[in-house]
Amino acid sequence: MSGLLGGADDARDLAVSVQHAFEQPDKGTEFELSGFVDVAGLVRRLRHREREVVAKLRCTEAALSEQRLAAEAARRLDDLSVAGFGAIQVCVPELVQLPDQRAALVSPYLGIPLSAPSAAALGLSGGAVSELLATLLARGVEASGCIPRNMFCHSGRTVLIDWEDALLVTAGAAPDQLTLMKWDIAWSDLFGDDLRLSDQIPASVPGGAAELDGFEATLAAWLPPATTRQEVRRHGIEVTLASELPVSEAAPASAARLGHLAEDVLPPQLGVFHTVLTARLRERHGDAAYAALLGQLHALVKHPRPTVPELEELRRGWVVELFSAAEDDLLGEAQTLRQLVWHLDQLVSTSGWAGACERAEVTEEITSRLARVVLATLGHEELDLLLRGSCAQGVLGLCSDVDFELSSAEFPAGYQPAEELLIEALGCLGLAAEGSAARPVERDLVSADGRVSRDLHEWFELRRPGSAHHDPGWTAALLSGPSADELCRPSQYEEQGRELTAKYLWFESRAALTRLAFTAPGLFPRPVTLERQLTALPGLIGDREAAELRDLVHETFTLREAADPSRLVGGQAERECSRLAERLDRLRQRLGLPGPQPS
């Protein structure tokens, strides 16, 4: 074992110290090491009875499993020596039970790992690495964690830590393809050159029922449905190697370390997308351009254990740099993505109508840019990006999400993998978004075969980015616009009755305005943005009624923005909703417009 504990009292004292280190962390307990970023806050360094120790937080079941694996690996590797590494020792951690089904694996602090820059010139050779890995396999230990960051050299011996993913196999068995890939990336990173370990150590061939890991399961959703599991694994290994093997140009940062960090920093699917996109960028632009991107990503990493705001800042910067690099494949734009995101940040707390119009314009451009990169990378450039909701109508309030879909006649319900990626990317920029899964369920307009349908109000809002007019993309070929009769009666949503809320009244005032814009003779193409509809209003219903409807649209918007309990409380909100609802009822009655039943 690690030899940390001297008895029951010692064990209790260690448990108290470890629990305190995780519950009340301070600068003194951070585990600081060049290149290591503890995103989830799962590692602490502390002092126990005059010894420096490192504690890793895990659920109890996983901690027990790792401790058992380490103990068995220690038994199998007993008395093992390998040229270049000396005696091989396994660090078996102590398990410290903590509250809430958690435990900490505690080991002595072993100093600087083999992966640190100061340890990189120890005279190792690629042949010594191959011999080490082959010798472990010969003893029945397949340790994907047998890589430089988990190894510590001390006076003729090498200590190995981190056994959570180790496999105990038949002596001499060939390693799994994923294990070999991890070895190849990590050891090549140490040497700054591709060691091609796969040419020296043959891997096992997975069977048809090979279980996909989380990375592969995400990747599989982006590949054709007929792709086999073996093909998914092969493709995953190819893109990971292309993304994380050392670059030939002098790079200020390690591709392998940044690839590992991307999985921790970014949301799950975006972490996989980082690998796929960087592999694509490296292939298209070469190592020099890739080295520059690595430098830009590395410059974003400023804290070994980032706080929540620091992590949000890191995610935002990562998405901006990653997607900006990919934009080189696309048409030149007047503003860079970096400039657009900076502009958006200036509007993060800007309230009012003018701010909402400006926010919608910037958000639309950002959404379009990100979507183009996602679709180009996934090979689905045939999909339409269709906007709907407040963003489509050009007024994105502080309470509103970005409503969109990436769809086509082949994917009428939206292409979920691409939509989920775009939602994650927008979220990293502070934009809440919803895809096809959040579309209205009402079916006012239905295609001849019944496969495609739209809610009436959703239909009014549909447009592709760059157009201020009604532009429903691929749906135009399958759906006929609403008839005059349909426009003159309540929609399915309106038939459900009015909700006396600020959100509903904001919808209701926009619905009245849009109906007028879509029924007016000679108003072609039909405007979708509220500003264009309001501009056309006097010519449709006269100045007096146009002024009243403009006031209602603006007042319901203001109420929607203020519908925060901390800003509008008690019966004031209800009274204001009732007053605006009565004005809407009277206006619709004068203009002969349908709508929900009066309050």
Q: What is the mean pLDDT of residues 382-404?
A: 98
Q: Is it the case that residue 599 has pLDDT exceeding 70?
A: no
| Whether the Cβ atoms of residue 492 and residue 444 lie closer than 8 Å to each other | yes
Per-residue pLDDT reduced to its tens digit, 140-170: 999 999 999 999 998 899 999 999 999 999 9
pLDDT the model gives residue 118: 63
Percentage of the chain modeled with pLDDT above 70: 93
Chain segment 442-471, per-residue pLDDT in tens: 999 999 999 999 999 999 999 999 999 999
Mean pLDDT score, 521-540: 96
Whole-angstrom distance, CA of residue 422 vs CA of residue 497: 34
For Cα atoms 20, 24, 27, give the angle at the middle one, nearest 5 degrees: 110
Distance CA 321, CA 297 (A): 7
pLDDT of 1 strictly over 60:
no
Q: Which of 27-36, 304-313, 531-540 has the lowest mean pLDDT?
A: 27-36
Flag whether pLDDT at 380 surpasses 90.
Answer: yes
Query: Residue 33 corresponds to which tokens in the numbers above?
Result: 């090491």
For residues 227-244, average pLDDT: 97
Least confident of 109-123, 211-225, 289-303, 425-439: 109-123
pLDDT band of residue 30 (cuts 50, 70, 90) is low
How far apart, in whole angstroms, are the C-alpha atoms of residue 87 and residue 154?
10
Sequence-ordered strand ranges (E) for 431-506: 433-434, 445-446, 453-454
For residue 328, what pLDDT is reported?
Answer: 64
Tell the burial category of 121 from Cβ atoms under 10 Å away from its Cβ (0-12, 13-18, 19+): exposed
48 CB contacts (<8 Å, ≥6 apart)? 4, 13, 14, 17, 106
DSSP 45-108: EEEETTEEEEEEEEEHHHHHHHHHHHHHHHHHTTT-EETTTEEEEE---EEEEETTTEEEEEEE
Stretch 169-191: mean pLDDT: 96
Asked if 492 and 456 count as a contact pair (C-beta separation under 8 A), the reply is yes
Strands 102-108 and 51-59: antiparallel
Compute the average pLDDT of residues 385-413. 98
pLDDT at residue number 305: 84
Q: Which two tokens stand for residue 480?
A: 């006929």
Helix, coil or strand: residue 473: helix
Closest CA to 426 of 501, 323, 504, 548: 323
What percent of the chain is predicted at pLDDT more than 90?
A: 84
Give 210's pLDDT tier (boundaries 50, 70, 90). confident
Residues written for the chain: 599
The end-to-end CA distance of the chain, in Å, is: 74
The answer to whether 436 touches 413, Cβ cutoff 8 Å, is yes
Asked if pLDDT for residue 6 goes beyond 80, the answer is: no
Give the per-residue pLDDT at 119. 57
Name the pLDDT band for 37 (thresholds 50, 70, 90): confident
In this prediction, residue 7 carries a pLDDT of 63
**What is the rounded distance in angstroms from the CA atom of residue 379 to the CA atom of residue 8?**
60
Q: How many angstroms separate the CA atoms of 468 and 190, rounded?
A: 54
| Residue range(s) occupied by CATH 3.30.460 in the chain | 337-438
Q: Which residues contact 107 (CB under 8 A, 6 or more apart)?
A: 2, 4, 53, 54, 56, 91, 93, 94, 161
What SS3 state is found at 543?
Answer: helix
Q: Are 319 and 422 in contact (CB under 8 A)?
A: no
The CATH number that domain 337-438 falls under is 3.30.460
pLDDT number for residue 249: 79
Residue 565 has pLDDT above 90, yes or no: no
Q: Is residue 547 predicted with pLDDT exceeding 90?
A: yes
Give the pLDDT score at 334: 72
Average pLDDT, the chain: 93
* Three-state secondary structure call for residue 138: helix
Distance separating alpha carbons of residues 489 and 495, to the nearest angstrom? 9
Q: How far is CA 248 from CA 155, 193, 325, 474, in A?
A: 33, 8, 19, 45
When pLDDT is averaged across residues 102-113 and rounded to a whole number, the result is: 95
| Mean pLDDT computed over 395-401 | 95
